Amino acid sequence: MSGAVPGEHPERALVRRAIEAGLKDLPVTTNPLARALAMRLLEARAGWVRLAFTVPDDFTQGNGVVQGGIVAGMLDFGMVFAAFSQVPVEATLATVAQTTNFFRAAMAGELLVEAELEKVGRTLVNARASLRSPDGVLLAGATAPIAVIAQRRSG
């Protein structure tokens, strides 16, 4: 990816590039789950992101309802991407814990996540995210503390 710093986490590079260049609707291909969910970074600014997912039937249980772990995963993607907008270039992130609340069934197809940071510290970030249907119905929400981890440089 052009503009990435050697050793920079690829998701941090994508989020920072979107913010700095004002880019919108970028495909996220940084890991297999993002690709399987056709994840797109719709918009980003410091401490906030909006993502879109197209969830295939492969990730549903009865009657087309998206499996809860996938819902939690989409919310986690949002919170981590928001955190990547605020951490140093040499940092990576790890979700420490996540509390997810399910309000309505999420159906296969297009789903949207908005995530924002509540507090940014040197070693811990607190974030929140919401999952909505394309027509804006709130389906689930989550909060999480996310650890900021300095990557070791080789050499």
Band (pLDDT 50/70/90 cuts) for residue 84 is: very high
Looking at residue 35, what DSSP letter applies? H
Strands 124-132 and 26-27: unpaired
Question: What is the structure's pLDDT at 1?
Answer: 43
Question: What is the structure's pLDDT at 47?
Answer: 98
Select from 75, 65, 119 the least CA-distant residue to 97: 75
Instruction: Give the whole-angstrom CA distance, residue 140 versus residue 82.
Output: 17
Mean pLDDT of 128-133: 98
Continuous H helices in the chain: 10-21, 32-36, 68-84
Q: What is the pLDDT of residues 48-73, one digit of tens each?
A: 999 999 999 999 998 889 999 999 99
Assigned CATH for 10-150: 3.10.129.10
Domain boundaries, the chain: 10-150
